Structure 1
């Protein structure tokens, strides 16, 4: 009997070796969603210069220093917020980060009907070890208390999770420790300040439209044999459009011309923006990264 259990365990480990397991909440427990996915290289997600490195460094320091928290009586948990326009790499980076750390990802939808405060707290406390808990588009479930009453009523009707219940789950007395929590949003200004204060969100980073640095790096990654000058020219022509461009748009253009980088230059005009930058989104860049 022991040998059968050992063999089954070895087979299960082989299925997930070198892969990232995605979990979703089913009732009061986490269950694998689909088959384990091949780990995405961290280098495949090109963020603006220094952004990805800052996050990775912070996460590694957290993972490698549990005793530092214990010795100082600080709860051993870490919260991150990635914000910015859609299609710019927030979820992709978290997926690649999980692969780099050899962690799994537990995705939780706060807008799910039937998700109550007690179930939310339970799920975060029983998440698999060595996993990243991901709350995507958190603004869709909760808005700032300064929003109009009509808006609040509309949002409250989506689920049974209360705002105070979420806050207590993140850093209340019964909240889980040894936990890495990532939240994403397209609209930072819609989040209540209580949700993103220090202790709940320890580090926040803006993931925006592509910069000249990203354009060059993305081009060089897709076309490693092309001269550096070609990457520079591509970046200049793309920026000359005067439009905000997402990483998803750039990747889509590259996929249309996998083997012919020169053909890109005849189709750069196809990089039409999916969203317009409002003045409030532009101001996000200037906000402090660390709360």
Structure 2
């Protein structure tokens, strides 16, 4: 009996001693998947493991991740095509890494019994454990992971989409489009760009006068005129991201809409396309007849109600401005309305010169003559009531040489009703 009691005391003492020693000699850092650093660290760890495997063929087995997870990103394009990208990261389990000659234990845990309320994603945590003397490496590691993630987005445009009540990057960051590559009618691009730059520079002016610091823009015009392309180019020129909001998305309600608009990522435009289809005569339905739970009054309150957020820039686009409810486009909700129309003779010539005048510093005499001829054709067709979109001209220039493009351009003109 005495021997049993002694062994029990020794075992408990050993457990307590080990726990005390662990607390004194080890330090842990927990990162949950609600924190942005969670994805940064997983991507950083995946890259570090790959680099170690390349630099050392005799890599010890315990430094490799034998439990992996795949993260798939699918990008669906408007033309129906899609692309998928795969990224392998450390899966749930225990892993070991070496960072600046310090060993760390990485434990990724997933809670399968409970899910996040809005998104339905399981709760996950990553716990890093190392010696207490190396605790100063945690901030360095996270900084390196953040810089690695930001480096992939440097000089690029990030598109965000709504995922439950959160904004998440959609697909890979895209190269910024030069704002001069979108050819609009004279003065249109300059007017919008000057207005938004003036707004962004007057934050304190709004605060001093008690005016909500938010701005709304409506770009309207026929399809293919360059509305969305210009917004993307403008965001790239100002180093802003774009948050695409689909009001007809299933499950989107007024409360979620309030939360999304009030918590848009910093330095981002909120883009709502085809607003006339979302709210036509104050009824929001999709093509299959499904009626969303976002109400018209809820959307208006989210734009400029008492509980609406500030420090926000919203762009809305429509092909039919005459269908919009006057309550939606009144001042305060939409501060600047600009029409992006079909091609004018000057726009057609500018686009032609950019496609076919790049062999030398200046276009050749033949290209200049073809450019003037194209402008004359556009002017004649406009006088007869026929119009052509800039997207149609661009597609023609991509497929053909200069002379063939001018010869075939009349086939693109259509009779379009103007509101």
Q: Is this a same-fold pair by TM over 0.5?
A: yes
The question of whether the paired residues in 1 share the 8 Å contact of 2:248 and 2:284 is answered with no
Q: Report the CA distance between 1:114 and its aligned residue.
A: 1.1
Q: Report the CA distance between 1:67 and its aligned residue.
A: 0.7
For 2:77, the equivalent position in structure 1 comes to: none
1:107 matches 2:283: no
CA distance in 2, matches of 1:154, 1:214: 36
For 1:184, the equivalent position in structure 2 comes to: 317
For 2:274, the equivalent position in structure 1 comes to: 137
Q: Report the CA distance between 1:143 and its aligned residue.
A: 1.6
Q: How does 1:252-263 map to 2 (within 5 A)?
A: 252-257=395-400, 260-263=401-404
Q: Report the CA distance between 1:226 and its aligned residue.
A: 4.0
Relative to structure 1, the CA distance from residue 93 to residue 2 in structure 2 (aligned partners, 3 Å threshold; closer, same or farther) is same
Relative to structure 1, the CA distance from residue 105 to residue 244 in structure 2 (aligned partners, 3 Å threshold; closer, same or farther) is same
1:253-286 Cα shifts (integer Å, max 9, x gaps):
00012xx31222221233143xx422xx34xxxx
1:267 matches 2:404: no
Task: Note the residue ranges of structure 2 that are not aligned, 5 or more in a row.
Answer: 1-137, 358-362
Select which of 320, 326, 341 maps to 1:193.
326
Counting strand residues as a fraction of each chain, which structure ranks higher?
2
Task: Note the residue ranges of structure 1 that are not aligned, 5 or more in a row.
Answer: 146-151, 283-291
Q: Report the CA distance between 1:230 and its aligned residue.
A: 2.7
Could you list the runs of 4 or more consecutive aligned residues of structure 1 that deviate by over 3 angstroms after TM superposition?
152-157, 226-229
Larger Rg: 2
Give the structure, 1 or 2, with the largest relative contact order (CA under 8 Å, sep 6 or more).
Answer: 1
Q: How does 1:139-288 map to 2 (within 5 A)?
A: 139-144=276-281, 152=283, 157-224=290-357, 225-227=363-365, 228-241=368-381, 242=384, 243-257=386-400, 260-273=401-414, 276-278=415-417, 281-282=418-419
TM-score by length of 1: 0.89
The question of whether the paired residues in 2 share the 8 Å contact of 1:20 and 1:104 is answered with yes
Q: Report the CA distance between 1:113 and its aligned residue.
A: 1.4
Give the match's secondary structure for 2:152: helix
The question of whether the paired residues in 2 share the 8 Å contact of 1:75 and 1:177 is answered with yes
The question of whether the paired residues in 2 share the 8 Å contact of 1:220 and 1:231 is answered with yes
1:115-136 Cα shifts (integer Å, max 9, x gaps):
1000001001111000000010
CA distance in 1, matches of 2:211, 2:284: 36
CA distance in 1, matches of 2:395, 2:364: 19
For 1:32, the equivalent position in structure 2 comes to: 169
1:76 matches 2:213: yes
CA distance in 2, matches of 1:226, 1:161: 56
For 2:143, the equivalent position in structure 1 comes to: 6
CA distance in 1, matches of 2:284, 2:316: 23
CA distance in 1, matches of 2:364, 2:397: 13
The question of whether the paired residues in 1 share the 8 Å contact of 2:277 and 2:284 is answered with no
Q: Report the CA distance between 1:223 and its aligned residue.
A: 1.8
Q: Report the CA distance between 1:240 and its aligned residue.
A: 2.8
> When the two structures are aligned, how many residues end up with a matched partner?
270
Relative to structure 1, the CA distance from residue 48 to residue 266 in structure 2 (aligned partners, 3 Å threshold; closer, same or farther) is same
Give the match's secondary structure for 2:244: strand
Select which of 41, 60, 74 maps to 2:178.
41
